[in-house]
Structure 1
Amino acid sequence: MSYLIGINAAKAKNGIAIFNSDMSLIRKPFTVSQSQSDIQKLAKSFAAIVRDVRAVVESTGRYPLPIVEQLSKERIFVSVVNPKLIKQFDDNSLCNVKNDPADAKKICRCGFLN
C-alpha cells in the first residue's frame, strides 16, 4: 500500500495530511512547526514506513525548502506544485475553509488525481 502526504508549508508551521492509496485519510490532519528538529522527526517517521511514500508540497516562496530538503534526504519522493494548480483543483466547493490542515488535504487529493 502506498501513502501520499500533502503538505501546506507556511512561515511558522506545516499543515500535514496523509492518505493511503484508496484515498482514505490515515489520521486527522495536523500541523508541525518549521523548526529543524520537528521537520527532521517528521521526515524520519515517514521514512520508517516500509511502503511507498510520496509527498506533494505547495510551492509558497522559500517556506517549503526545509521540509523538501529533509524529505529528500530520507529518500522520499517529493513533488513541489504551483499554488495556482492547487487553488484551481476542486475549486467548486461551497465552503471556503482556509486553514493549514484543510489545505494539506486538498494538496494531497490534487496529488492523487493529477
Structure 2
Amino acid sequence: MLSSLDDDQAMEVVSIPLAGKSTIADHMVIASGRSTRQVASMATKLVERIKQECRRTARIEGLPAADWVLIDAGDVIVHLFRPEVRSFYNLERMWAFGEAPTPTSTAH
C-alpha cells in the first residue's frame, strides 16, 4: 500500500498505529497530493492495487471533489489530502495520542 503512494509521488506520508487505541483500524496512513487531480489518481490506483494484491474491495469516499479522499481497506484507513485541506483538519495531531506520527518516507 505504501509503495503505491511512493510510486505516485505522495508527499508527507505518515503512518499512525491505532492497534489497541481504536477499534476502527490497526493503522492510519495520511498523505498529500499536490492537486485534486493527483489525489484522485493516487486514490484510484491505491483502491485498484488493494483489490489486486489483497483480494478485497476497499471503500472510498470523497473521490469526486478529491480535496480529501478516505479509503477504508479494513485494517488500514488511508486519508489522501490536498495540502491546504490536510493542514486544516490536522488528523496527525488528532490521532497521534501524544506520540509523533511515523514518517514512512523522507524522499518527498
TM-score between the two structures when normalised by the length of structure 1 = 0.30
TM-score between the two structures when normalised by the length of structure 2 = 0.31
